[in-house]
């Protein structure tokens, strides 16, 4: 991966913003179990950071996805996982399909304000009865005149309590499960949309997660992204960015975890020496760094392929799988070396231990990644 001065400029701008505007507030937001998304996104929007890969015609910078990767990686400097995840939902999970397939009118209405940071976006795919099995979602959007009438609900909606609009996957027809769905832009202030509850979690505390209910919600059909019946396909494409984003953002946070553990164990004395001087400890850290470099190589290779316009389904799934595995292994091993200090809430390693656990579940569980990889390898039949 070749980084240019333009990549470094994005990294520097974002780093300065994180140091000045985000990290000083992280503890307060973690305690409050929410962060002020509108305020933070408007500032990111002013810096041009919410539309790096989006078309210039809609206020974006029209750059390739290596810039999104640099942004995701740099967001790993934030001292919690919840805020980077919320930003990733805005830039690379709820908006790629709209940018790619939305009509000009729809992009002006929802994409432009999502790039300026005026609107907070959320993604509504998962439901109480359907997460890994996306094809089995039950929320319907029934045609009625020039409108859709939406009934059902979405579960685990990141940014859900604050969002202005949702990129919603719903059944718009009765055909086969992979061809009966559409993606719709749904303003969250439409009558009939309600937040059933804010979900409490073991990690990602600063990120709000909502259960959302739809009761006879009426939106015009022009709010549909692209063609009717193509929603499942569009969402599967949108997942590629989400999965690469998840891998990229962990590169830096896992690196910090190793480095902070080295710094702590270098100082911590025991048995006439330091924790770091114990061979088991420094060999383990060397092993973990090697694993992390393999994730970096895999992620960079997948991003290079994406930038060249190649199909990255297999490598993006592998990167997400490996990221999920390391998001468990690295903080768990490092936490051990902090002893009792690792078991406290104030510890950066224990926060990553809790936050990072989500990577093996969200955006497609490890087992879903394994089944995609097996299909790509020709072991399992593709649908």
Ligand X SMILES: Cc1cc2nc3c(=O)[nH]c(=O)nc-3n(C[C@H](O)[C@H](O)[C@H](O)COP(=O)(O)OP(=O)(O)OC[C@H]3O[C@@H](n4cnc5c(N)ncnc54)[C@H](O)[C@@H]3O)c2cc1C
Q: In the bound complex, what is the minimum distance in angstroms from residue 235's beta carbon to ligand X?
A: 9
| Token representation of residue 319 | 């990167």
Nearer to ligand X, 243 or 296 (CB): 243
Instruction: Kindly state whether residue 371 participates in binding ligand X, applying the rule CB under 6 A.
Output: yes
- For the chain, the C-alpha Rg in angstroms (whole number) is 21
Q: How far apart are CA 142 and CA 120, in angstroms?
A: 26
Tokens 């969250």 locate to: 188
Q: In the bound complex, what is the minimum distance in angstroms from residue 256's beta carbon to ligand X?
A: 21
Instruction: Kindly state whether residue 368 participates in binding ligand X, applying the rule CB under 6 A.
Output: yes
Q: In the bound complex, what is the minimum distance in angstroms from residue 220's beta carbon to ligand X?
A: 23
Cβ atoms of residues 98 and 51 within 8 Å: no
Instruction: Kindly state whether residue 365 participates in binding ligand X, applying the rule CB under 6 A.
Output: yes
Instruction: Kindly state whether residue 372 participates in binding ligand X, applying the rule CB under 6 A.
Output: no
Question: What are phi and psi for residue 59, nearest 5 degrees?
Answer: 95, 0
Which listed residue (91, 157, 211, 249) binds ligand X by CB under 6 A?
A: 157
Nearer to ligand X, 204 or 206 (CB): 204
| Token representation of residue 245 | 């984003």
Which listed residue (51, 60, 88, 363) binds ligand X by CB under 6 A?
A: 363
Instruction: Kindly state whether residue 236 participates in binding ligand X, applying the rule CB under 6 A.
Output: no
Stretch that binds ligand X, among 71-79, 122-130, 265-273, 279-287 (CB under 6 A): 122-130
Q: How many residues bind ligand X (CB under 6 A)?
A: 23
Q: How far apart are CA 137 and CA 286, in angstroms?
A: 44
Instruction: Kindly state whether residue 113 participates in binding ligand X, applying the rule CB under 6 A.
Output: no
Stretch that binds ligand X, among 58-66, 177-185, 303-311, 354-362 (CB under 6 A): 354-362
Nearer to ligand X, 314 or 371 (CB): 371
Residue with the closest Cβ to ligand X? 131
Q: If we measure between CA atoms, which residue out of 190, 206, 148 comes closest to residue 27? A: 206
What are the angstrom distances between the C-alpha of 243 and each of 302, 322, 328, 338? 11, 11, 16, 30
β-pairing verdict for 269-270 and 273-274: antiparallel
| Contact string (CB under 6 A) for ligand X, positions 301-340, x = contact | ----------------------------------------
Instruction: Kindly state whether residue 358 participates in binding ligand X, applying the rule CB under 6 A.
Output: yes
Does the active-site annotation cover 242? yes
Stretch that binds ligand X, among 150-158, 285-293, 297-305, 307-315 (CB under 6 A): 150-158
Q: How far apart are CA 354 and CA 80, in angstroms?
A: 10
Within residues 204-223, the interface with ligand X by CB under 6 A covers 204, 209
Nearer to ligand X, 87 or 368 (CB): 368
Which listed residue (38, 108, 201, 328) binds ligand X by CB under 6 A?
A: 201
Which listed residue (50, 125, 163, 219) binds ligand X by CB under 6 A?
A: 125
For residue 147, the tally of other CB atoms under 10 A from its CB is: 16
Nearer to ligand X, 93 or 288 (CB): 93
Which listed residue (117, 348, 356, 362) binds ligand X by CB under 6 A?
A: 362
Which listed residue (310, 367, 374, 380) binds ligand X by CB under 6 A?
A: 367
Nearer to ligand X, 45 or 363 (CB): 363
Active site residue: 30, 73, 127, 242, which one? 242
Instruction: Kindly state whether residue 361 participates in binding ligand X, applying the rule CB under 6 A.
Output: yes
Q: Rule CB under 6 A: which residues touch ligand X?
A: 89, 122-126, 131-132, 156-158, 201, 204, 209, 358, 361-365, 367-368, 371
| Residues recognised as catalytic | 242
């Amino acid at each position: 991966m070749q980084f240019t001065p333009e990549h470094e400029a994005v990294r520097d701008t974002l780093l300065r913003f994180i140091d000045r505007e985000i990290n000083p507030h992280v503890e307060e937001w973690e305690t409050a179990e929410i962060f002020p998304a509108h305020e933070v996104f408007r500032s990111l929007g002013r810096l041009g950071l919410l539309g790096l890969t989006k078309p210039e015609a809609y206020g974006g910078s029209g750059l390739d996805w290596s810039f999104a990767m640099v942004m995701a990686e740099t967001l790993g400097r934030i001292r919690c996982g919840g805020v980077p995840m919320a930003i990733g939902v805005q830039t690379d999970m709820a908006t790629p399909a709209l940018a790619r397939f939305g009509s000009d009118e729809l992009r002006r209405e929802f994409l432009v304000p999502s790039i300026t940071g005026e609107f907070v976006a959320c993604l509504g795919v998962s439901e109480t009865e359907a997460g890994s099995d996306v094809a089995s979602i039950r929320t319907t959007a029934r045609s009625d005149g020039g409108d859709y009438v939406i009934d059902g609900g979405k579960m685990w909606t990141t940014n859900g309590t604050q969002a202005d609009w949702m990129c919603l996957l719903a059944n718009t027809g009765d055909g086969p499960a992979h061809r009966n769905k559409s993606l719709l832009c749904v303003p969250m202030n439409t009558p009939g949309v309600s937040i059933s509850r804010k979900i409490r979690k073991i990690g990602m505390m600063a990120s709000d997660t909502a259960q959302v209910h739809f009761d006879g919600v009426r939106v015009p059909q022009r709010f549909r992204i692209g063609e009717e019946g193509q929603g499942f396909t569009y969402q599967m494409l949108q997942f590629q960015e989400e999965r690469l984003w998840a891998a990229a953002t962990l590169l830096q946070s896992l690196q910090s975890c190793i480095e902070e553990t080295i710094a702590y164990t270098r100082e911590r004395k025991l048995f006439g020496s330091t924790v770091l001087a114990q061979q088991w400890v420094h060999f383990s850290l060397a092993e973990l760094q090697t694993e992390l470099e393999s994730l970096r190589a895999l992620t960079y290779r997948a991003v290079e392929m994406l930038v060249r316009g190649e199909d990255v389904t297999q490598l993006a799934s592998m990167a997400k799988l490996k990221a999920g595995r390391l998001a468990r292994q690295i903080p768990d091993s490092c936490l051990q070396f902090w002893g009792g200090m690792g078991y406290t809430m104030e510890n950066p390693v224990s926060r990553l231990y809790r936050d990072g656990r989500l990577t093996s579940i969200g955006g497609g569980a490890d087992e879903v990644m394994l089944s995609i990889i097996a299909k790509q390898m020709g072991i399992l039949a593709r649908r």
